[in-house]
Structure 1
Amino acid sequence: MTPWLAALAVAAGGAVGAVLRWALARWLGEGAGLALANVVGSAALTAIVLRATGWPAPVVLLLATGVCGALTSWSTLAAQVWWAAVQGRWRVAARVLGGSLGGGLAAVLLTWSALGR
């Protein structure tokens, strides 16, 4: 695979993942949307990792690095938790952090269990 094809696959997937994360934030609100994006992205990435044997490299890059990488945003999580904490909104910060970390880990474990590994 050429570097250009790899970059195109990641960019195309990243565009989709970023728009999905933005849409979830608009639909559910910043904190809940981000937490759900991180949970869904964690489950999807786990499924891809478990099932991608033999898949073409551009497909894996598009889905795993592109879509899941942009959908799950740890930098946005850090910024939202920090901003809520600075504003004294500790419960919001805890919910967003706990939902993303705890929910993401639970999604990985459930997906791993469901797919038989």
Structure 2
Amino acid sequence: MPEPILISIAAALAAKGATGLYDLVKRKFAKDPVAIAALEAASAAPDDTQPISALAERLHQAEVNDQEFAYALRAEWQKLPGTLTTHGGVHNQVTGNVTGKVVQAGDVQGNISL
């Protein structure tokens, strides 16, 4: 089973929201018709979890088989705005007119009351 980060990367690839990341993966998958098909299926249905999961699995296999690709994939992912670049990090982004409360927290011990 792929790591959650690979699901996030696959979703970003499906939405084609990360050109550098997409190009890196497309180059890596160029000689693997099954992997290219997974990339194209996810891109054709960016809101469908099944093709995204299949793409994440292909990314996982590519990382296992090629440590340089694994490093390049994660480095490219970290360049994107809004990605968590540290283990255990928290990232909130609030835009527009907001009413109510927003909480940003890492590890919480006990209850939170607002």
Q: Which has the higher helix share?
A: 1
Same-fold call, TM cutoff 0.5: no
- TM-score, with length taken from structure 2: 0.24
